[in-house]
Amino acid sequence: MLPSIWTLVGQAGTFLVFIWAVMTFVWPPLTQAMEERRQKIADGLAHSEQAEQALDRAQAEAEEILRDARRKAGEIIEQASSRSNQIVEEARQLAVAERDRQVTAAEAEIRLATNQAREALRGRLAELAVAGAGRVIEKEIDANAHRELLDKLAAQL
Amino acid sequence: MASGNQQLDTDALAGGDVGQAGVAGNTDMLTQVGESGGWWAETKARASFVWNEQADAGAYVNHHITNLRLPKGADPMDPFVWHVDTMLVSWVLGLFFVFFLFMGARRATAGVPGKLQNFVEMLVDFVENSVKESFHGPRNFVGPLALTIFGVVLLWNLMDLVPVDYVPTIMYILGADYFRIVPSADINAPFGMSLTVLALIIIYSIKGKGFGGYGKELFTHPFGGNPLLWIPNLLLNIVELIAKPVSLAMRLFGNLYAAELIFVLIALLPWWIQFIPGGAWAIFHILVVPLQAFLFMSLTIVYIALAYEKH
């Protein structure tokens, strides 16, 4: 069935040549293409990973900024409200002081008027007393002569 | 046939089967061993036969172009003969291909691919691109079909690069009288595949154009719709339809059969010179093997695309 057992050896030689050709001409470009493809995929994945990380960072940063702004706004509102309270308080104090001043002034005026009225009444009382006494004693009393006496009397009232 | 034909001897050896053409006269030793029975004794006898005997060139070539047939000694032209070697080798190669892709897919990651995944992806990308270029319908079936055809035909053809006598000799010693390991050099395997393609061409014609559309095209397509031309149209379409699988199968079979035969002829040269023509032919084969696989695949895609698209 075989021409000779040696043909098996000859075919092994043929096969060796074939293996050499594959190793030299087929394998390197094939593995190179595979390696390039692999590298491309790896690079792409690495890039997307980086982009994702950058996105994460940017998001965290934005959140931080937002939180900061919110905190600042709160502070400002608080400041404003305390300032407004302060203003109201100041205004209230001013008003109270004004009221006190006006009340004091009014009281002083009232006192003055009272004193004036009293003075006037005193004057009139002295006259009345003189007139009354004149009538009682039916004798003209020189008002001027008794002025001092009457004024003393009036002052004691 | 000469009575010294070694093929006949092997038939005698395999248990005195005389179905094929005659009984050998010059292998008394083997016949004796074969008659004494016992698988181990027979194997030893076959091994010593391989070691000692030499066939003439004609018998040697004949041995290499004969398939392992079942039932034994059946008429080679009988259509119901099983070519066990072709079937076995194609099954093994097909399962290998499926397993190979399965391994690539099973450990697939969305990240950086490993070596096997990378190779499988390259292969799938390559086939997918070829399909994309010529077929514009849905690719969920045609893509895998093209991948299967390419992979399987490539593996079939690669068997041609295994040294021609190694597997037949081992199988002979183990008890199989003949064993061809290149399925594409057995006309039945390429034809089996191309008939599947024919069925797909018809299915895709109907799928793309509908029953009525395809029927109408069969009767009116090349020459026009005149009723007088219906029969010539139909005849031409049938010829065209049959020519597709025939040309597909014949192209592959012819290339690989001739290639195998040349390897066999090279094996008849003195052993110390074989590596020169054998090596050259093997290197040439590095081109032929993937080219034939690619041709079978891309022509299948083109045929299906032509069938599917409306004119």
Higher-pLDDT residue of A39, A3: A39
Q: Verify whether the Cβ–Cβ distance A41 to B113 is below 8 Å.
A: yes
**Residues of chain A neighbouring B282 (CB-CB closer than 8 A):** 14-15, 17-18, 21
Q: pTM for the complete prediction?
A: 0.72
Taking the C-alpha atoms of residue B104 and residue A147, their distance in angstroms, rounded to an integer, is: 141
* ipTM, two decimals: 0.75
Residue B38 backbone zone (phi > 0: left; psi -120 to 50: alpha; other: beta): left
Q: Are B191 and B245 in contact (CB under 8 A)?
A: yes
| Beta strand ranges found along A22-115 (DSSP E) | none
Taking the C-alpha atoms of residue B233 and residue B223, their distance in angstroms, rounded to an integer, is: 7
Q: Can you tell me the mean pLDDT for B274-280?
A: 91
Sign of CA dihedral B217, B223, B227, B232: negative
Query: Would you state the pLDDT for residue B6?
Result: 41
Please indicate if any CB of chain B lies within 8 Å of the CB of A87.
no
Q: Which residue of B has its CA nearest to A5?
A: B51
Q: Verify whether the Cβ–Cβ distance B63 to A1 is below 8 Å.
A: yes
For B221, the token pair is 């397509």
- pLDDT band of residue A24 (cuts 50, 70, 90) is very high
Active site residues of B: 247, 251, 255
Q: Can you tell me the mean pLDDT for B118-147?
A: 91
In the block, tokens 């009345």 appear at: A128
- pLDDT band of residue B272 (cuts 50, 70, 90) is confident
Query: Would you state the pLDDT for residue B24?
Result: 39
Provide the 8-state DSSP code for B83: E
Please indicate if any CB of chain B lies within 8 Å of the CB of A34.
yes
